[in-house]
Chains A and B, each alone.
Chain A
Amino acid sequence: MCLGVPGRVVSVREGFAEVDFWGVRREVCLDIVDEPVAPGDYILNHVGFAIRRIPAEDIAQTLALYETLLAEAPSNDLMVADVRGEISATGKR
């Protein structure tokens, strides 16, 4: 539950961002993010809130783990389930 999941900001409006998580578009609250975000930025989402804007140079490294996990076939894997849960925690558009 503390893992969080990174996603790419598509658009921003009134305290919310539309964020793309590997093709799934969801709404993430920007109330507690540490820096202003703009389309194209990557944020770390935790239970529906952006908690960090990921520095541009670190994005590839940050995404690698999740790509490994999400490449796995849907299963009852704990870590994969937690990551999918994090995506489900965001708002529906």
Chain B
Amino acid sequence: MIEEPRAEVALRQLKFRDPDTARRLVRTLERVTKEIGRSPVSVMHVCGSHEQAISKFGLRATFPKDLNVIMGPGCPVCITDMPEVDEGVALARQGCVIASYGDMLRVRGTALSLNDAQAEGATVEVVYSATQAVELAREMPDREVVFFATGFETTAVATAAIVRSELPKNFSVLSAHKYIPPAMEIVAEMPETRVEGFLAAGHAATITGWGIFEPFVERHRIPVVVAGFEPLDILAGLARLVELVRDETPTVVNMFPRCVTKEGNLRAQEELWSVFRPIGGRWRGIAHVPKGNLRLRDEWAHVDARRRFTIDLAALWDGVPPALAADCVCGDIMSGISTPTDCKLFGRECVPDAPVGACMVSSEGACRIWHQYGGHPNLEAL
């Protein structure tokens, strides 16, 4: 019996909106990767939604075996550093109401998570947006409400718009917002990772524009393709990316023109940079990223929880992290050195209901995504 190539099996099993286009793209990927003649060819995407789509739709089963598609530091919850979580926990224990996105509550800082603080009696509320955090402050006029803000530039823009609006006096922001372009620089320089091309996230680029990647491409001589989130968008983006790798053409290609322009959303950028300034800081498990953290500018000191309160972290730092956490390789996964299945705790001691590391907490974390969908799906089981 002739064995059917696995990409063919995958294509037959997976439901594509346009199977012919999918088949053509998969063949291009296969052929061009072969033409590069190296193994593996490693490319990186930097977006939890990309990983969700790749894993959910089983795309890895259609990728050539010599093509390694890595999820980089594209999960804002995962890269929020432990001292940043500690700040939120400390403020909660000091009597502030902490409002944050749901996944943040379960991520542990040096010793505790916001959920732990809540169990001790602190007030911690889940919100879906900065606007809802402001509403909460209006409903609790005699409490200090701190919005613990996480997310990349796409989400930071919304926080910026809120900061510039009319705010109740008892509202402030603890910013753990992150800025993706500088992190791509860091990962591009990691010798162990050897990323040969980046797939940039369509919706972050909606704000920043694709032009922002030009200096990066110039410096690192690595191509960047901006891609959308449909299975076909991702296949098309990857096919273009491997062509650029093969042709040794470091350039930026926008494959998501329906949302992304060269200059991006200028109005949103103006809001973003009028409220935030980029400063250096650690991304959990990865590295110090110069200009990778977004902090409030001096003009907004009155809304900045870090200036408004004295945050006492010392008390938290006596807590000893549990022994298991030492085995978590989240940072290596986000740097492209390991995959979730390399971690010996994956699916055993570390599961979504009892996560050891941040990558198993967030819906955008590689471990959580692989745990739900499998990173390399078994097509027989589909």
Contacts and interface: CB of A to CB of B under 8 A. Distances in A.
Interface of A: 1-4, 29, 31-34, 44, 46-49, 51-52, 54-55, 58, 61-62, 64-65, 68, 76-79, 81-82, 85-86, 88-91
B128 A85 contact: yes
A34 B53 contact: no
In this complex, the interface size class of chain B, counting residues with CB under 8 Å from chain A, is 35 or more
A75 to B, nearest CB: 10
Pick the 9 closest A-B CB pairs, nearest first: A58-B258, A89-B128, A89-B129, A48-B129, A32-B268, A3-B49, A34-B265, A47-B129, A78-B363
B243 to A, nearest CB: 22
Interface in B138-175: 151-152, 154-155, 157-158, 161, 165
Contacts of B364: 1-2, 82
Nearest to B257: A58
Contacts of A32: 157-158, 161, 265, 267-268, 271
Interface in B203-250: 203-204, 206-207, 229-230
B52 A78 contact: yes
A47 B259 contact: no
Contacts of B369: 78
Nearest to A90: B129
Interface of B: 17, 47-49, 52-53, 56, 76-77, 101-102, 128-132, 151-152, 154-155, 157-158, 161, 165, 201, 203-204, 206-207, 229-230, 258-259, 265-268, 271, 363-364, 368-369, 372-373
B372 A48 contact: no
Contacts of B56: 77-79
Interface majority SS (helix, strand, loop, mixed), chain B: helix
A1 B101 contact: yes
Contacts of B207: 51
Given A46-B158, A51-B203, A78-B368, 18 more contacts: A2-B155, A3-B203, A32-B157, A32-B158, A32-B267, A33-B267, A44-B259, A52-B206, A52-B259, A65-B230, A77-B56, A78-B363, A78-B369, A82-B364, A86-B128, A88-B128, A89-B128, A91-B131
A82 B268 CA distance: 23
Nearest to A80: B56
B187 to A, nearest CB: 18
Contacts of B265: 32-34, 51-52
Contacts of B151: 1-2, 47
A3 B229 contact: yes
12 contacts: A1-B76, A1-B77, A2-B204, A31-B165, A32-B268, A44-B206, A47-B151, A49-B157, A51-B154, A51-B206, A51-B268, A90-B129
A47 B267 contact: no
Contact of A79 (B52, B128, B154, B266): B52
B158 A1 contact: no
Contacts of B129: 47-48, 89-90
Given A1-B76, A2-B151, A51-B207, A82 B266 contact: no
Given A62-B258, A89-B132, A2 B203 contact: yes
Contact of A2 (B17, B201, B266): B201
